[in-house]
Amino acid sequence: MSKRVEVILTVGLIMATFVTVTFGLYTGLKAVESPQVPDNGISIETQMASTVLIEVDGRQMGSGFIIAPDLIVTARHIVDREGNYAVLFGDDTRRNVQAIRISETTDCAVLQVSKTGLNPLVLTTEVEVGRSILVIGSPLALNFFNYVTRGIVSKLNVQEDGLSNNPITMIDAAVNPGNSGGPVFDMRGRVIGIAIARYPHNCGMNFITPSKDILVLLESWYDEGPNYAERMEKIRKSQEESYGETAG
């Protein structure tokens, strides 16, 4: 074999190796990036369109999401005070809240609204530590409407009596004031809970009410019908002793 042929073969092997390594790195990066979009055949825009902002007396209070054609789920501490509540939707329309039901044991509430064309999200109780999640909400100001952050499930069955009488879930995805009540999704686009609080100093220890508690509240809504929770004052006082900081 001539030296010219050997040189050509050597260069060819080097180029083939470079292409293989480059392609491997590219596909590896794509594999890491792909879970950011739910894998159930719908885009994250679907979840964003079903996430809402909660207002009281015209002021932004927190986030929420559509769970039924006429029902919104949010955090209890978002609606634990008297006032005129309204919901801002992704299409820039507002609807007044007609009825509120507040959980006595968890940081969770259900609001009733009248609006056509709502697309309910799906709840799941299938949650595992280490699984990737997305958080959608409207922190800080209206220009951050439907802001998305990403993280993992950090710990299950956390007992923090200042936040809930029932065990809650810890995540490390960023949660800020205004996120409270917003949905937390798994990578299939299903809601695993609602953002309720963060540990002080933004150290990546944030808390959510799990979906199983949302399901219990929804069952009580359908069993007993809507009410306006005469216990608002009692709940407000209990929140003053809450652990850490509420996210919204």
The verdict on whether 164 is a catalytic residue reads no
Instruction: Find the catalytic residue in 180, 186, 211, 213.
Output: 180
Strands (E), 71-211: 71-74, 85-88, 94-96, 99-102, 109-112, 132-137, 147-158, 168-171, 183-185, 191-198, 206-210
Instruction: Find the catalytic residue in 50, 63, 77, 103.
Output: 77
Instruction: Find the catalytic residue in 63, 70, 103, 107.
Output: 107
Q: How far apart are CA 100 and CA 221, in angstroms?
A: 10
The verdict on whether 201 is a catalytic residue reads no
Q: How far apart are CA 121 and CA 117, in angstroms?
A: 13
The verdict on whether 107 is a catalytic residue reads yes
Whether 89 and 244 have beta carbons less than 8 Å apart is answered as no
Q: How far apart are CA 193 and CA 61, in angstroms?
A: 19
Which residues participate in catalysis according to the annotation?
Answer: 77, 107, 180
